A and B are shown apart, each in its own frame.
Chain A
Amino acid sequence: MESEKILETIHMISDENLDVRTITMGISLLDCIDSDSDKACQKIYDKITTKARNLVKVGEQIQEEYGIPIINKRVTVTPISLIAAASHDQDYVKYALTLDKAAHTLGIDFIGGYSALVQKGYQSGDKTLIKSIPEALAQTDLVCASVNVGSTRSGINMDAVAEMGQAVKKASELDFMTNAKMVVFCNAVEDNPFMAGGFCGVSEPDTVINVGVSGPGVVKKALEKVKGASMDVVAETIKQTAFKVTRMGQMVGTVASERLGVPFGIVDLSLAPTPAVGDSVAQVLEEIGLERVGTHGTTAALAMLNDAVKKGGIMACSHVGGLSGAFIPVSEDAGMIDAVNAGTLTLSKLEAMTAVCSVGLDMIAVPGDTPAETISAMIADEAAIGMINNKTTAVRVIPVPGKKVGETVEFGGLLGHAPIMGVNPASSADMIHRGGLIPAPIHSFKN
């Protein structure tokens, strides 16, 4: 093997923050349903702690043997609103506590699936689950919640949109950090290994291994070598880099799946930033030629980046899934934070960017006095972008009580810190109070 290639890999890992962001085991809980919630919770705890008992150990082994950092080990489960519905309990906090206990026993970083899918309407468990989300997240450490409120096929459930605005507000009053563990989706995917929106869809196998790669730092370094070249060259460079990064993800997933005896699901080809220096999607966009992210041209650069990452990654692995694209969470990306502080990146520009990249308004801190209806309206806007464009979009906003625009809030760890961003002061309340469903869009006459 050529020395240069060996050194390239070493540089990517040691100097450019190349890592596997997560190995996530999806576990179906459909066989744990019981009308007695105590029995159901016991079955859930037993199944998770049996199926995933070696997850952390195998993750650490791979990290040691291959010298590739594996940042998180996670578990996703079937949406709890489906599992708990048979029990007729008044709230599902008990289920959240069970998931949390199982996660602590396993030593994993997160467990996702305190979720409901209500894009077309509610079944009996959905309302109970949504009502209990703030309480469930406040009482647990590692549980993540998500609610799917819309889809291209079924439209947007505006009753759920209204309710989620209130849930976000209520959660922030209990403990604003809980909102970092909750996301509202349109077109949620069933095999997403990333949090907070990961859950194990009902069409997934009983257990499955999904892998999420990362690597904005590697892409940035590669682009530094093609300064001034045309956009074709930029796109080609990103493709080639994404290919290599994804091959590593594919290998890690294959090894993990063999050692755990669990089928390998998908690789999620996402560029996921962290607050660490040189691990930023914003800096990739700036390397393409923007003085600061958020200025004119950002949407075009991001569209190209997102597409090139997919093109490069798709051939590199057997099955691609999850969210696959570029993430643009504000608090987790040093370049995004700088741009907000410099005044070049606003909420409306972020919204435009979400139309061309994976996911949506992510990890954005807003003033604590933002009305619930305004948050609902932000959710509705994002859901509309996802619904019309056939893509996943999401909202993870964090109202911080007592904080005003321009102040900063500290989340810590992988979640970073965030400047409080201003929201539009005009009210959207009357529209949100209408409720009902936005009908599914027409699928031809695309203009």
Chain B
Amino acid sequence: MKAILTTVGEDQVGIIAGVSQYLAENKVNILDLSQTIMDGYFTMMMMVDVPENEKEFGVLAQELADLGQKLGVEIRIRNEEIYRAMHHL
């Protein structure tokens, strides 16, 4: 399943490393990545491919949220269809 992973929070050392390491460990492939500073906040968006027969999506989302807490940022992952549905005809 294609999903969009967003990471928003105060910039600091190790955010990208922390997130990408977790993704690699869980066989989540990063397809596209953009990163910017928006209103003073570190904002990273990743398009990722979540493998079907690995961890359950809910577990993955929870572990990422926990990882975000450790890194001091908010990490969310959602099926990309929701963004497509809302903003594309």
A interface residues (Cβ-Cβ under 8 A, vs B): 1-3, 5-10, 64-68, 244, 247-248, 250-251, 255
Contact = CB atoms under 8 A, between A and B. Distances in A.
B82 A3 contact: no
B84 to A, nearest CB: 7
Given A67-B78, A244-B86, 14 more contacts: A1-B80, A3-B38, A3-B45, A5-B83, A5-B86, A7-B38, A8-B87, A64-B58, A64-B61, A66-B79, A68-B82, A247-B86, A248-B82, A251-B85
A67 B36 contact: no
B20 interface: no
B57 A64 contact: yes
B29 interface: no
A10 B38 CA distance: 14
A2 B38 CA distance: 13
Interface in B41-89: 43, 45, 47, 57-58, 61, 76-87
16 contacts: A1-B80, A1-B83, A1-B87, A2-B87, A3-B36, A3-B43, A3-B45, A5-B86, A6-B45, A6-B83, A65-B1, A66-B78, A67-B61, A67-B76, A244-B86, A250-B85
A105 to B, nearest CB: 24
A271 B80 CA distance: 25
Ranked nearest first, the 5 interchain pairs of A and B with the lowest CB-CB distance are A251-B85, A67-B78, A64-B58, A5-B87, A66-B82
Nearest to B45: A3
Contacts of B61: 64, 67
B34 A3 contact: yes
| Interface residues of A, dominant DSSP | helix
Chain B interface size range = 20 to 34
A66 B85 CA distance: 11
Interface in B2-48: 4, 6, 8, 34, 36, 38, 43, 45, 47
Contact of B4 (A1, A68, A244, A250): A1
Query: Which of B6, B8, B86 has the most chain A CB atoms inside 10 A of its CB?
Result: B86
A250 B86 CA distance: 10
Contact of B83 (A9, A64, A65): A9
B36 to A, nearest CB: 7
Contacts of B36: 3
A371 to B, nearest CB: 50
Contacts of A7: 6, 8, 38, 43
A65 B79 contact: yes
B43 A1 contact: no
Given A1-B4, A3-B34, A9 B43 contact: no
Contacts of B83: 1, 5-6, 9
A13 B77 CA distance: 13
A251 B34 CA distance: 26
Contact of B87 (A64, A67, A244, A250): A244
A8 B85 CA distance: 13
A6 B77 CA distance: 11
Given A10-B6, A64-B57, A65-B57, A1 B84 contact: yes
Contacts of B78: 65-67
A362 to B, nearest CB: 29
B78 to A, nearest CB: 4
